[in-house]
Amino acid sequence: MTSLTRVRLKPPYLLLIGAETDPTFAKTAQGIVQWCPDKVAGQLRFDGCEVDLGVPDLTLNQAADAGCGSLVLGVAPVGGVVPESWWAVIEQAARAGMDIVSGLHLRLRDRPGLAAAAEAGCARLVDVRVPPANLPVGNGKKRSGRRILTVAADCAIGKKYTALALDQSLRRAGAKSTCRATGQTGIMIAGEGIPIDSVVADFISGAAELLSPANDPDHFDVIEGQGSIFHPGYSGVALGLLHGSQPDGFVVCHDPLRERVSGWPHFTLPPLDEVIETHIRMGRRTSPDIRCIGVSVNTSRLPANERTAYLERLAEGTGLPCVDPLIDGCDALVNYILDVSGTPG
């Protein structure tokens, strides 16, 4: 793994669901099926499993015959502990040549016998929480290509979803676009990325630069934001990512009813205009013409009959497209982006 500059997964995937009974614990697997169904060969379920991703059930042998590249641990086992019965299957998959992909806190190589099994099968053990080694310090030099970063005043407010949805909308609109994932779930969905909050502090912006390298002038990188430059715990990650990404544009992810930082109730959230203004002020250090290109709103807690009016008011106030990506999609953002970014080249 040390020679890689990013985590990169090998499709197609066999998604290990195990004996999960609660869909909320299978979010990663569901995300993979939702965003990249073409990379999914099937699911592996054990007796008693009540979760169904709607993809073919495959045994390990069937998956191997189907040329599966990776066995993806797509669930968070209760208590974080992988049951012994799973390990036998995981080892068998590695021996059969499938990469083992995990977003769990434990390191796969710490599991006795698994490294040997992987070696025997020429398979890799991929811990998506482990950043690549030999990251550079950020140089801040302007790279060709366009970049859009999703940002927010808080965590867990839609940055990953918005990045995935915007990337998808850009591609559907005929634009060249790549989603650049920075968190474990995003990496498993996008198939590659760098877990930016796990890198050593000195290399945050350097990792962000590697993540979104120079590209065609009309190519978009849609970069999954992490943390927030306003967050008392994670601001360093967010500012390093902002500077390293050197985005031309950013989308603010916003929850109109969230007043305080999730899990940090002693911190109120700054108002939306301050979020926009401060990202411009800080971001222009590496991207002089940085601008906000829209607001991605989680309207799920608004009364249904107030949703549209809220978004319209917000659009009027900010002069920007404001969408709920789950309901409206991201086409309005795409139109605005292609509009303000003009002709490629």
Q: Which stretches of the chain bind a second copy, using CB under 8 A?
A: 137-141, 196-202, 204-206, 229-230, 232-241, 243, 264, 266-267, 278, 281-282, 285-286
Q: How many CA atoms lie within 13 A of 54 on its CB side?
A: 7
Q: Shortest distance, CB of residue 194 to a second copy, whole angstroms?
A: 11
How many Å apart are CA 131 and CA 4, to the nearest integer? Answer: 9
Measured CA to CA, the distance from residue 337 to residue 335 in angstroms comes to 5
Q: Which is nearer to a second copy, 180 or 243 (CB)?
A: 243
Q: What is the DSSP string of 57-81?
A: B--HHHHHHTT--EEEE-S--GGGP
Minimum distance from CB of 68 to a second copy (Å)? 32
As given in the structure block, the two tokens for residue 303 are 């009364």
User: Considering beta carbons, is residue 168 or 182 the nearer one to a second copy?
Assistant: 182
Give the shortest CB-274-to-a second copy separation in angstroms.
Answer: 9
DSSP 24: G
- If the CB atoms of residues 264 and 336 are measured against a second copy, the closer one turns out to be 264
Residue 236: exposure state from Cβ atoms within 10 A (0-12, 13-18, ≥19): middle
Q: How far is the CB of 25 from a second copy (least distance, A)?
A: 23
Phi, psi of 225 (to 5 degrees): -75, 160
> Residue 21 or 268: which CB sits closer to a second copy?
268
- Rounded CA gap, 150 and 153, in Å? 11
The least distance separating a second copy from the CB of residue 327, rounded to whole angstroms, comes to 32
Question: Which class for 279: exposed (0-12), middle (13-18), buried (19 or more C-beta within 10 A)?
Answer: buried
For residues 173 and 282, which CB has a smaller minimum distance to a second copy in the complex? Answer: 282
- In angstroms, give the least distance from the CB of 218 to a second copy: 24
Based on CB atoms, which residue is closest to a second copy, 196 or 223? 196
